Structure 1
Amino acid sequence: MNPNFPTGLAVSLQRFYDYLHHERGLSAHTQANYQRQLTIMTQQLVELGITEWQQVDAAWVRQLTTKGMREGLKASSIGTRLSSLRSFFDYLISIDELTANPAKGVSAPKKKRPLPKNLDIDEVGQLLEVNDDDPLSIRDRAMMELMYGAGLRLAELVSIDIQHVQLSVGEIRVIGKGNKERKAPFSGQAKQWLDRWLTVRSSLANEEEQALFVSKRGTRISHRNVQKRMEEWGIKQGVSSHISPHKLRHSFATHMLESSQNLRAVQELLGHENISTTQIYTSLDFQHLAKVYDNAHPRAKKNRAPSNSESDD
């Protein structure tokens, strides 16, 4: 029992730690983590004048969250603290020390979404310079061209059947997240290499197989196989970035947004239900836009010599 805490707080904490050890049988590491998080928050509550757990309400818990943010804690760390506090209060409810959990309605700050990584256009060109006549190489280039050319998800690519492809008009029917169907346009190199793959597909595919892309066993190619083959091609083609199906889709989105500046169109092409999901690519494009601004705006040009009409006064 912590002698630095008021008895009303310390006794309940010790009972909770005994419960974690004897009844829940948690590992020593997990028990120590609970104790560490709760000790920090209890100390903060004591400093705010709390002496009994019954005094704590949602407003006090929000103060702890705000304090953590001011201290520069990551959202995940604050979330861990809140989770420990919720578990502790749930225990106090179970032994009739509390009637409600004041931490239940308090949320941790949202985690910052990591920006998706993408290839630059030169890296994409380097990756896609696959000119082998081997059926597996033709298949792999067709898959990569299609992922980059249509912005497909890995699951969408793998699930395509032959009847979903309209090569003459450059459209594929894909089933996206939530079992939602959309038509994905493709053209150029994607169309050319998909045509090449269809001419050699029968040399690999089993007779009754409907999948567009098949493995050397003749059946629908697996997610892992696609990932492995793309990773291998990245190494073989000397691309410095790690290659993955997801990265090709991100590259499609970024390059389309850079060229078109049409967020709604890119949203539809990617099959995003909410435009907020697509807006993450505007963060990727900001550096590009900032450079354009610096080079173009008359008041932003760097190291620009003053014109004759400008005064030195």
Structure 2
Amino acid sequence: MTADDSALVEKYLEFVRVEKRLAARTVELYSLDLGRLSEQATRAGVALRDVRNHHIRRWVAQMHSAGRSGRGIALILSGWRGFYAWLGREGLVSSNPVQDVRSPKAPKPLPKALAVDDAVQFADFESDDNAWLEARDAAIVELLYGSGLRVGELVGLDVVAGKDAKGWIDMQAAEAHVLGKGSKRRSVPVGATAMQALQRWLELRGPSGTATAAPVDAAGSHAASALFIGRNGTRLTAQSVWQRLKRRSQLAGLNVPVHPHMLRHSFASHVLQSSGDLRGVQELLGHANITTTQVYTRLDFQHLAKAYDAAHPRAKLKRQP
């Protein structure tokens, strides 16, 4: 780093420390980022004030190929962008070479889904809770895994259809009618096992009131009309479902804590593995865009790749150069 570049960096760090009153840790991170910038400029044989857009893009590509994450690169670019914005205000550069440079997109993590055997083990598990709690939790698991409902759709279900109901189960048609994202309604089939679990739960749940006569709970909905209620009689919350599933997965001996969306992911992945019908899975999940559903094709490929590696006699043979 030249003496001129070093002076510019120190002056900028003093600015963010004194004028912007940034925390000491933040100033330290800025210093590290500008150290990287100075090293790159030195290797390229240019002064910091002479860095151009193509330099920044090349250095971003180098960081990406070296394995730095998209988020890490974004943070570095943010520090560089602020430095050149300050140089511009000081009249030391005519343009900001980082202004339109973006970090590489981080790959979207695959949704976590249970293996089929684990999902079946979880759904078949019977806890030592009293019959009322066990029936309720079993019906919850069957609806989340068997119909792919979101947890918000699940806790919004009422016992029967009504003008104020967000969702309900049509026991005769074996269909769940739910209000999904964007206030879009959809109907999804409910399997025979889930119907049996629901019937058992309704028998033990106790009498339900009507929407006009029922007390209103903290969420502003009629508690007595709710399909799933807690021991105090109020509509079950999403947080309570998360807690119950986590506990149930531990008791069932699963290696991972199960949460509601994991069961939704498992539903989508397992239906796609069996049917290959991406459009059908899109409709069942209530996705507005097919690209949202396509992530499950990656899960399906992983499943096939593992099966191939485990079963094919030549899967693990090394390729000859």
Same fold (TM over 0.5): yes
| Gap change, CA 1:51 and 1:216, over 3 Å in 2 | same
CA deviation after TM superposition for structure 1 residue 58, in Å: 2.5
1:35 matched to 2:35: no
Alpha-carbon RMSD: 2.5
Counterpart of 1:289 in structure 2 is 304
| Gap change, CA 1:229 and 1:105, over 3 Å in 2 | same
The code of the aligned residue for 1:44 comes to Q
Partner-residue secondary structure (3-state), 1:277 = helix
Contact 1:93/1:100 (8 A) holds in 2: yes
Q: State which of 38, 45, 51 in structure 1 corresponds to 2:47.
A: 51
TM-score, normalised to structure 2, is: 0.82
TM-score, normalised to structure 1, is: 0.84
1:156-235 alignment runs, 5 A limit: 156-162=153-159, 163=161, 164-165=167-168, 166-202=170-206, 208-209=222-223, 210-235=225-250
1:93 matched to 2:97: no
1:22 matched to 2:1: no
Gaps of 5+ in 2: 162-166, 216-221, 316-321
Counterpart of 2:56 in structure 1 is 61
- Structure 2: distance between partners of 1:200 and 1:91: 68
| Gap change, CA 1:90 and 1:155, over 3 Å in 2 | farther
- Structure 2: distance between partners of 1:262 and 1:69: 36
1:81 matched to 2:85: no
Q: State which of 130, 141, 144 in structure 1 corresponds to 2:141.
A: 144
- Structure 1: distance between partners of 2:137 and 2:59: 53
The count of aligned residue pairs is 295
Contact 2:38/2:48 (8 A) holds in 1: no
265-274 vs 220-229, which moves further: 265-274
260-269 vs 235-244, which moves further: 235-244
Contact 1:204/1:217 (8 A) holds in 2: no
- Structure 2: distance between partners of 1:179 and 1:16: 49
Contact 1:204/1:218 (8 A) holds in 2: no
- Structure 2: distance between partners of 1:236 and 1:291: 27
- Structure 2: distance between partners of 1:230 and 1:26: 43
Partner-residue secondary structure (3-state), 1:136 = helix
The code of the aligned residue for 2:201 comes to W
CA deviation after TM superposition for structure 1 residue 291, in Å: 6.0
- Structure 1: distance between partners of 2:189 and 2:171: 10
Contact 2:175/2:190 (8 A) holds in 1: yes
The C-alpha deviation readout for 1:170-218, integer Å capped at 9, x for no partner, is: 2222232333332222121112212222233336986542332222222
Percent of residue pairs identical? 37
| Gap change, CA 1:126 and 1:92, over 3 Å in 2 | same
CA deviation after TM superposition for structure 1 residue 69, in Å: 1.6
